[in-house]
Every structure is written in structure tokens, then in C-alpha cells.
Structure 1
Amino acid sequence: MAEIIPIRPWRYNHELSQRIDELASPLFDVVTEKQRAALYQNPYNSIHLSVPKPPYAADRAGLLLEEWKQKGVILQDKLPAIYVYYQYFKVQGIAKEFCRKGFICHIRTYDWNEGVILRHENTIPKSVNDRIELLEKIELHASATHGLYTDGSFTLEKYMDEAIQSPLYETEDYQGVRDVLAAIHDKGVIQQFLDFIEPKTIILADGHHRYEGSLYYKHKQQEQNPLHTGKEGYNYHLMYLTNTEADDLKILPTHRLIQGIANFDEETILKKLEEDFIIKPIDDADTINEVIVGKPWAFGLIFRENAYKIRLKPESLPKIKWHFPDVVKALDLTVMHYFVIEKALGIPGKDQRASENITFDRSFSDCLNKVIQGKAQLAIITNEVSIEDIKKVCASGYTMPQKSTYFYPKVIGGFLFSTIKENEFSTPVYSPF
């Protein structure tokens, strides 16, 4: 049972929302230092709540939030609603404009073992801790995580298509994506959403760190509240839900950068890889992402002077000693993390989640440049992960390595802020919900 409810969020006042493009911000795990520096210059930008400026970042956000409420910078909606959120975008090499359709609501924060919300990748501990500290201070979800439900009949899209004709906001974001937000207040239509999602299983596409922060916060509040009923705000999480069956669900590859390994030697690494991989030198490193595209268990390796395409020998797959089901062992990313990162580079699987030797970059050109400039010792170029692979992994009960997927486009922050503070979360007496 996936319980969702409408939300009564805080949103920028009418005067400020006329300039919503100046107030929106990227999510905490993709915003760059350069973007942060620029966004911090605007005292009302949503970055101050989603990725507050250090030192004492969480405390700073808490004080600022109360100031914004008192001064009317943000106002709480009078009625609960389902918020429809469409993202119009293009993908390189394809002329068609895509539109990812979805809606934003509160969803009960389920424990992983309940099998209602399924994770598909591991998290990085430090990032989870940062999200917990912030949630404790502000009692507010500054941005929605991204969840997936499956519906081949496209039942809810007709209601969303109707609502989006009367948008509240429309802007072009930092990705070049056109973001449009609308609201559904009709009681009967909202109930259709609640009833339809109830029997569904939700796959967590993006926002694992924020969701785990909500889980921790829920458990802590439950322990401290002897009158816990399960209806308190801390039991809920803000989520953007989209349909896996739509053709606008795009997943981009996330490449690995390796740095700081002592006695790093290209020849030694290649020698270790020879046993399990077919290795082919590539003359033009800037084409290696095209060389490997669509080929299973194929990766690009970019060193300072040389580049190689490597592809696992099928007979080597059974060598994986990690205790995973076959469907997880057969994933490109499992192959990469086991044979390349553990066996060849010497970083054990148990240490990879927190390893400072591994960073992640979606941009192929960034990876290439960082290696050439000496900012990284090696770039491991990967293929994208399919939604079918994600479904299979979730069904197995296991997870992919951290940063396995990059769902595109990213949801942006700033359109609304979802409170879980009890006196603000409680449904007004005039509301049917």
C-alpha cells in the first residue's frame, strides 16, 4: 500500500513568484560550486534552504526559514493540492522534444523492508548525514525526490494534461529545460490519484540520500513521541511521481573518476585487466563514449596519454565473488566495480561507498578534460542503465552501486516547500483531506 496525500506547501509570495526563474535552484547533489556562489548572491533564492551556506549551514537555514515566514517572503497555501509538474526537454542527437509528466505529493515514509518504496542504488553516508541535520532544523522538504510507478494505461495523465493548461509557474532552468507547475484542488480528482497509487510499488529513481534522511528522522521522532499515531508530518516525505511506461524517462550514464591512488601505474593496471577483458587501444579518446555505446560489459578507460576500450570476456562473469543474485552480477556497473575498481585498482567493494579515490561525473567531456589536466588519474566511461535493469534489481531486493543512474532532467528546487512541522502540516478543518 503506497499511501499518498495532497500537500499544502509554502510558496513564494505573488510578487517574488513573478521572477521564479531567479529563485529556482539545482538539487543539492548536482549543484556545482560555481552555481552555488552565484545563487547565494540572491537573498531569496531557494538554495538557502536546500543547500545552505556553511558554516553552521543547517542552523542558518532554520533561522532564515522563520524570517521568510514572518516577513511573508513565502506563504502557505490555504488548500491542499496535488501539484502537476511537467518538464519539456531535448536530448542530444534527437530532434523530438520530450515531456516528462508527473505530480508532486506527500508519500508515507516506508521502511525498506516494507517493500512499498524500493531503492535501486547505494548511498554515500556523509550525504545522508547532511540531509538529516538539515531536516531536523527546518522540518521542511525543500525539494522533491523522484519516484516511479508503473501504469501502461496512463490513467492519471488525462487529469495532469488538463491541469497543466493553467500553470502557476513556467520557467527555463539551468539545464535548458522548460519547467511548468500547476495545481489540482478538486477533491474528486485528488481522490482518484490517492486511490490509483495505493496498490502500487514505487521505485526510488532519484533522491536516495534525502529519502534515507527522512527515514532516520521518522524513527527518531517516533521514539521521542509517546503519543505517536502515524499521522504526524514526520511520517511523510515529498515526492515527484512519474510513470515508467512513458517514453520520456531518460537515464544518462554516470562515469567514474579515479584520483589519489598511490603508486598508480597504467601498465600494471592493464596487466591486471588482461585476464578478464579484451583490451583495445583507442586513438581518439574523445570518441570512446561512442565506441562503447550499446555494448554490454564494455567500458572506456582514459589515462593521461592513452585510451582503451575494454570488454569483459563472458567466461569471466562467474568469477564475481560478491554475494549478489545473477541479475545484479550481470549489470555493467557491477562488472566495473568488481573487476576494474576492486581487482585492478585495489579498492575493496566494502570501501567503495565512502572512498575518496572515487568521484562521479555525468559529463564525458569533463571526464576527458580532468584526466588531461591531471585532476584525475583515470576516467572510467560507462553506458547508460535501462529502466528494465532497474526494475530487475529492485525486484531482486538488492541495489546497484552508488551513483549508478542519472535520471534526466533533474527536478529543480524553489517551486514549493513542503512542511512537516506539525502545526503547519495538519489539515485545516475546511479541507476534505
Structure 2
Amino acid sequence: MVRISPIKPFLPKNPKEFCTNPYDIIDQQEELELKKNPNSLIHLILPDGTGDEVYENAKKALVQLKENNAIIQEKIQSIFVYRQESPNFSQQGFIMGSSLEDYDNGKGILKHEYTRAKPLADRTKHITITHMAAGLVWNVYKSNEKINSVMEDIKKQDPLYDFQKYGYRQILWKESDPEIIQKLKNLFKNEKLYIADGHHRCASANEYRKLKIKEGKKPTGKEPWEYLLNYVSSDDQIKVMAYNRVIRKLPITEEDFMKRLNEIYCIIPVTEGFNPKEKHEVALCCKGKWYKLEVKSKKFANIRDSLDVAILQDKLFSPVLGIEDPRTHKNIFFVGGLDDPKEMEKYVTEKGNDLFFNLYAVNIRDLESIADLGGVMPPKSTWFEPKVLSGLVIYHLGE
């Protein structure tokens, strides 16, 4: 169902100094600190400047990184295994190319979210001018013992990289044996990939591919721009966390809000914040007071509608709070990667917001089922952690 390919990427000379978090989770303070290092990926993914100057500066940064030998291109095609390890959690997957045609036709690489025009245009322009992909699209496959076994065999080699960063041991292995690569190609022919993280990066790579075809380039299955740079892991190797919702200001009175909320949920006052233990249970901090919410009606038209994020959006945020498009509405924002209710409470008691909704994490099987049916989940439904490093491999898409 999906065609994979080895890649011949640029690799960093000093990965610990070079690699960063994905561009969209780097805050201003971290960005300023990273930019003190002339050989950091930050200059490529978040260059200085305004307007189109940003993309030209990214191109210049790429030239400088090459001249400094901060990144060096591999001479042979390979597939990589990438593992992140800590005492509490570890995950691993392949880094390789996957056919963008299989994304475009919706048969091999399946999405579960819509993209937004502005970030898509930004990433597309970045790729078009630099001809490089430095951020990994995170895809998952349904756990497959044979594929997982190949991964374990590759890990028996000495690693290419082994270093600590962001609280995790970061390990990379390289496999260049044509027989093993062909074995993986054959195994993945029967699989589908599900986008976990990186819908905009995936869509922008496909826009670049379509641009090349429009220019008269013929897809042969061997062109770098026909493939997506991705990290591909088994669905039993990942940790899905809740992507919580914060409402800045209630547009109605607290009394009216609680009445409308009671139409959807059983409302149980609690003495302190907590993390929900199952689907259809929500922890709400409303103006400093905590409530346990339990969904009243559990009759749903489909899996998508049964998601806690969908219930909130369809039955509360849109009709009651007037938040029709949570991707652009200014009265809502999202908090991922936070599991301490005391820290959640501070968003209300110290940061001036009215509501914090602490959700139960979406099950990865629900994500896969929705994608299989061609469905789309509400924006910001899932948060994955740890984030995979950007810059561990840099993929040249061709001029």
C-alpha cells in the first residue's frame, strides 16, 4: 500500500549541537539561545528577517552550514533507525523516504487533520527556495512483527550517533545493505501509514512534488522530490498525550455556561484538579473551581463524533461559545505535553484565562480508524511526546 525508499541525506557533523526541536514548538527564548551557535539548524528552519527575506536567509544559512562542514552529504543511500530513550519511556522508528504519490492519492499515507493555508504556504515556500527538508513527518504503521524484527536487527550494529539531548538518549543507526532495504520495501507494500505529527510538512512536500511535475519533470520513482522525509514507527511504540483546551474569556455568564454544560455532561464538583482516567471523562477548571464532567449521551454517529475533542467542539465550543473554527479563533488556545493539574490550574488562577479543559488522550486506534474511513479529526486532537529531533537527517529534494 505504501512505497518506501532509502535516502542519501546530509548528516550533521555534531548532532548534539546541530539538532533542534521541531520549528513550531521552539519558543522565543530557546530560539535566541540556539542562534548563538553558527552551526545550529535553527538558522535554516527559523531564519531572521521579514517577508520573503526569511526564505532567502534560510537558503544562505544552508550554504553556510555546508561551507562550515556542519552538514555533510552521505555517498550511498540508506535507511536509518532512530531511538529515543529515557528511564520512563522509549520509542523508535525508521527514518526513510515514503512515496508522496501514496499520500496524494489517499491510499498509502493517510491524514486525519485539515491543513491551514498560511502555515502550508510558509512551509511550501521554504522547501521551494531551499530544496531541503529538515523536519521529520511522523507516521505510524499498525504493529507488524516482521517489520519490527528488521528494526531490531539493524540495532545490533554500532550506532552512527549516540548522544543526550532534551532529556533523552538519542541514538541513530544506518542500514545500507540493498537486501535488507528491499526486504523492508516488500514488507511495507502491505502497510498503510498514518500521519501522527506533521500534516503541514507532508502537504508542503507534496506541493513541491506537484510543482516539479508542472515544470515538466517526469516522476520515475527515483527522483528525491517524489518522496517524503519521514520517521515511521509502530503504533505500539508511541505515547499519545491529550491536547488540552483553554478558553480565554467566557462570552456568557458563568451561570448560563453551567446550564448549557449540564445539557451535555453530568457535572460533579471536586476539590482539586485531576487527570481523566477514561474516554468521555473531562476535568474542567472553571474560574479556579474544578469539576469532573461525564458525557451523558454516548450515542454517536461515528468514531470521530465520539472523541472528547469532537464532543467539546460540536456541542459546546461552536454552539455555546461561538468558536466555529478553533484553528483561527482568538478565544481559544491549546496546551500539549502537560500532565500536572496544578500547572493546568495556573492557566486560570495566574494567567487570566477562564476555562481549562483537561482531556483523556485520544486512542491511536481511533485515529487510525478515522483515517481509514477518510475522516478528519478536530484540530489539535493529539499531542505526541517526545518530539523527534529536527536536523538528525536533512533531505535534499533536488533542484
Q: For 1:309, which of 278, 292, 309 is the aligned residue?
A: 292
Q: For 1:369, which of 328, 336, 346 is the aligned residue?
A: 346
Deviates more, 1:37-46 or 1:64-73: 64-73
Cα deviation, 1:86-137, whole Å, max 9, x if unaligned, reads 111344xxxxxx4322111111113454321111233343322221121111
CA offset at residue 229 of structure 1? 4.4
**1:84–1:160 Cα contact (<8 Å) kept:** no
For residues 394 and 184 of structure 1, the distance between their equivalents in structure 2, rounded to whole angstroms, comes to: 31
Q: For 2:41, which of 30, 37, 46 is the aligned residue?
A: 46
User: SS of the counterpart of 2:147?
Assistant: coil
Instruction: State the one-letter code of the partner of 1:6.
Output: P
Counterpart of 2:135 in structure 1 is 143
User: SS of the counterpart of 1:336?
Assistant: helix
Structure 2 residue 266 is matched with structure 1 residue 266: no
For residues 48 and 217 of structure 2, the distance between their equivalents in structure 1, rounded to whole angstroms, comes to: 35
**1:164–1:182 Cα contact (<8 Å) kept:** no
Counterpart of 2:113 in structure 1 is 121
**1:164–1:180 Cα contact (<8 Å) kept:** no
CA offset at residue 242 of structure 1? 1.0
Structure 2 residue 398 is matched with structure 1 residue 415: no
RMSD of the alignment, in Å?
Answer: 2.1
**2:148–2:234 Cα contact (<8 Å) kept:** no
Instruction: State the one-letter code of the partner of 2:230.
Output: M
CA offset at residue 260 of structure 1? 5.5
Cα deviation, 1:269-297, whole Å, max 9, x if unaligned, reads 1121122211122222xx232xx221x32
For residues 227 and 83 of structure 2, the distance between their equivalents in structure 1, rounded to whole angstroms, comes to: 23
For residues 393 and 371 of structure 2, the distance between their equivalents in structure 1, rounded to whole angstroms, comes to: 30
**1:125–1:354 Cα contact (<8 Å) kept:** no
**1:101–1:157 Cα contact (<8 Å) kept:** no
Counterpart of 1:394 in structure 2 is 371
User: SS of the counterpart of 1:107?
Assistant: strand
Cα distance change on mapping 1:181 and 1:164 into 2, 3 Å: farther
For residues 87 and 115 of structure 2, the distance between their equivalents in structure 1, rounded to whole angstroms, comes to: 29
Cα distance change on mapping 1:268 and 1:40 into 2, 3 Å: farther
**2:244–2:335 Cα contact (<8 Å) kept:** yes
Cα distance change on mapping 1:397 and 1:191 into 2, 3 Å: same
Q: For 1:337, which of 303, 313, 324 is the aligned residue?
A: 313
**2:18–2:39 Cα contact (<8 Å) kept:** yes
Cα distance change on mapping 1:364 and 1:34 into 2, 3 Å: farther
User: SS of the counterpart of 2:392?
Assistant: coil
User: SS of the counterpart of 1:213?
Assistant: helix
Deviates more, 1:60-69 or 1:370-379: 370-379
User: SS of the counterpart of 1:254?
Assistant: strand
Cα distance change on mapping 1:159 and 1:388 into 2, 3 Å: closer
For residues 68 and 106 of structure 1, the distance between their equivalents in structure 2, rounded to whole angstroms, comes to: 23
CA offset at residue 78 of structure 1? 0.7
**2:8–2:74 Cα contact (<8 Å) kept:** yes
For residues 264 and 144 of structure 1, the distance between their equivalents in structure 2, rounded to whole angstroms, comes to: 42
Instruction: State the one-letter code of the partner of 1:342.
Output: S
CA offset at residue 228 of structure 1? 5.1
User: SS of the counterpart of 1:383?
Assistant: coil
CA offset at residue 193 of structure 1? 1.3
Deviates more, 1:352-361 or 1:73-82: 352-361
**1:159–1:189 Cα contact (<8 Å) kept:** no
Cα distance change on mapping 1:267 and 1:107 into 2, 3 Å: same
CA offset at residue 164 of structure 1? 5.1
Cα deviation, 1:404-428, whole Å, max 9, x if unaligned, reads 1112221111222111124xxxxxx
**1:50–1:413 Cα contact (<8 Å) kept:** no
For residues 164 and 19 of structure 2, the distance between their equivalents in structure 1, rounded to whole angstroms, comes to: 10
Deviates more, 1:188-197 or 1:114-123: 114-123
Q: Give the structure-1-normalised TM-score.
A: 0.85
Counterpart of 1:280 in structure 2 is 268
Counterpart of 1:22 in structure 2 is 17
Cα distance change on mapping 1:344 and 1:307 into 2, 3 Å: farther
Cα distance change on mapping 1:226 and 1:330 into 2, 3 Å: same
Counterpart of 2:195 in structure 1 is 204
Cα deviation, 1:1-41, whole Å, max 9, x if unaligned, reads 3111111111223xxx2xx3222210122222222221122
Counterpart of 1:62 in structure 2 is 59
Counterpart of 1:254 in structure 2 is 243
For residues 266 and 48 of structure 1, the distance between their equivalents in structure 2, rounded to whole angstroms, comes to: 47
Deviates more, 1:199-208 or 1:126-135: 126-135
Counterpart of 1:428 in structure 2 is none
For residues 27 and 375 of structure 1, the distance between their equivalents in structure 2, rounded to whole angstroms, comes to: 28
Cα distance change on mapping 1:122 and 1:300 into 2, 3 Å: farther
For residues 147 and 181 of structure 1, the distance between their equivalents in structure 2, rounded to whole angstroms, comes to: 18
For residues 267 and 43 of structure 1, the distance between their equivalents in structure 2, rounded to whole angstroms, comes to: 55
| Identity level (%) | 27
Counterpart of 1:354 in structure 2 is 328
For residues 82 and 353 of structure 2, the distance between their equivalents in structure 1, rounded to whole angstroms, comes to: 38
Structure 2 residue 180 is matched with structure 1 residue 189: yes
User: SS of the counterpart of 2:145?
Assistant: coil
Counterpart of 1:12 in structure 2 is 12
**1:257–1:367 Cα contact (<8 Å) kept:** no
